[in-house]
Amino acid sequence: MKSIHTLLRVKQREIDALKRAQATMENHRELMHQAITQLSDALVRELKTAEDMPEMAQFFGDFSAHIKRRQEQIHAQLRKLEAEMNKLAEQIRERFSEMKKYELALKAHQQREADKAKRAEQQEMDEIAIRGYIRKHAP
């Protein structure tokens, strides 16, 4: 059963690596959300500046278009990242399922071995009892 222990360790390492990749992707996703928020905040600040200084208003249109394009680019990257994260989550589920199969096989093997040892011990105890009975009741 050494091979099952090895397979379990390999599957656990695979799952750990996938979870680390998932955490990295989640951090990247959070950074993208922050970037979108920062761009929105910059747009609001520039709008306020354009309202306060009419001479700067002529530049606001280009700035606004640039911000909106950048936000759309980030949203596209975010959608792509979400798809990758979904694939990764599915891989984690698959690996976990495989690992559980091996764990169940190991547990079943251990239970069979324990039952086998218990039967052997019971047979030994029965033989001792039979010998004792024969000695006690022998003529």
Q: What is the pLDDT of residues 79-119, one digit of tens each?
A: 999 999 999 999 999 999 999 998 998 899 999 999 999 99
What is the rounded average pLDDT for all residues in the chain?
90
pLDDT at 4: 83
- The pLDDT-based confidence of 2 (bands split at 50, 70, 90) is confident
Which of 11, 5, 10 lies closest to 98 in space, CA to CA? 11
Q: What token pair was written down for 61?
A: 């249109």
One-character DSSP codes across 78-96: HHHHHHHHHHHHHHHHHHH
Q: Buried b vs exposed e over 45-74: b needs ≥16 C-beta within 10 Å?
A: ebeeebeeeeeeeeeeeebeeeeeeebeeb
Instruction: Please give the pLDDT value at position 1.
Output: 60
- Give the Cα separation of 8 and 126 in Å (integer): 39
Q: According to the model, what pLDDT value does residue 114 have?
A: 95
